[in-house]
Amino acid sequence: MTTFQRVHAKPPPRPPSVTDLPEGSRLLYKVLAGSHATNLATPESDYDWRGVYQAPTRSLLGLQSPPETIQVPPDETYWELSHFARLCLKGNPNIMELLWTRNPDPTGHVQSETIRAIQDIRTSFFTTSMVAAYLGWVTKERRILGNVEKADKLTGKRGSHLVRLLMGLTTALTKGYLPVWLEGADRDLCMAIKMGERSQTEILYTIDMMTLRCKGLAAAANWPEPDPRAIEDIVIRARMEML
């Protein structure tokens, strides 16, 4: 029997952080991320916001390029459109999840036609690069987790995150979509790990078994190499609109 409970607190409304973006930019996307987006929040969980901004086309022609990433303390991160598109093609786990996030409460969210167009082709980012990005991240973090001498709160949080990533990759490989909001047994397992109800040995074993399965599924799925043409067309159209 687990001791945790679901958290249904309504996220506090947050206005778009336009004033924190370069002058003339437009906010294309803003969404609640982290534990509140995955159904793994606890009363102590922070509200993490992630998004995409578009720098003015003119700024790309000058001597200084706009920042690829903007971090607004304490809990907001924005990627410039072109950088975001490149990360999509690389299958970056954080970026992949943003394309599939569906928060129950949209308060404070921003979504543009440009982002909707990218979401319309999001399964095209299911490529060999995404498999490599997910398994590479898991391998690196699993090594850190395995070197921890004594399990602590961070161990559970990191372990839960890795198991959740592997769950997502497994579903993408077998069912063609990426789950972000967890329910049922998947949520129960991730939450139990996060709350310290699984030993470090159990966590590592779970990660290792899931990793092996993902490798086998990836070999069978035979996903293609990334193709930049569709998302590049979307970026170019967005740039032309801001000429």
Mean pLDDT of 7-24: 63
Q: Which residue has the higher pLDDT, 62 or 227?
A: 227
Q: Is 225 helix (H, G, I), strand (E, B) or coil?
A: coil
pLDDT at 11 exceeding the cut of 90? no
* Residue 54 CA neighbour count, 13 Å, CB half: 23
Contact in structure between 130 and 123 (CB atoms under 8 Å): no
In whole angstroms, what separates CA 13 from the centre of its chain? 21
Q: What is the pTM of this model?
A: 0.91
> What integer best gives the mean pLDDT of the chain?
91
Instruction: Tell me the C-alpha to C-alpha distance, in Å, between residue 16 and each of 30, 49, 95, 99.
Output: 7, 10, 19, 18
Instruction: Give the CA-trace dihedral at 90, 92, 96, 99, to 10 degrees.
Output: -80
Choose between 9 and 220: higher pLDDT: 220
pLDDT for 6 equals: 46
Distance (Å, whole) CA 117 – CA 132: 25
Over the stretch 95-150, which tens digit does the pLDDT of each residue have? 999 999 987 667 788 999 999 999 999 999 999 999 999 999 999 999 999 888 77
Please, which residues have CB within 8 angstroms of residue 136's CB and are 6 or more apart in sequence?
A: none
DSSP 3-state percent helix, strand, coil across the chain (nearest 5): 55, 10, 35
Provide the 8-state DSSP code for 31. Answer: E
pLDDT at residue 107, as a whole number: 76
| pLDDT tens-digit series, residues 78-99 | 999 999 999 999 999 999 999 9
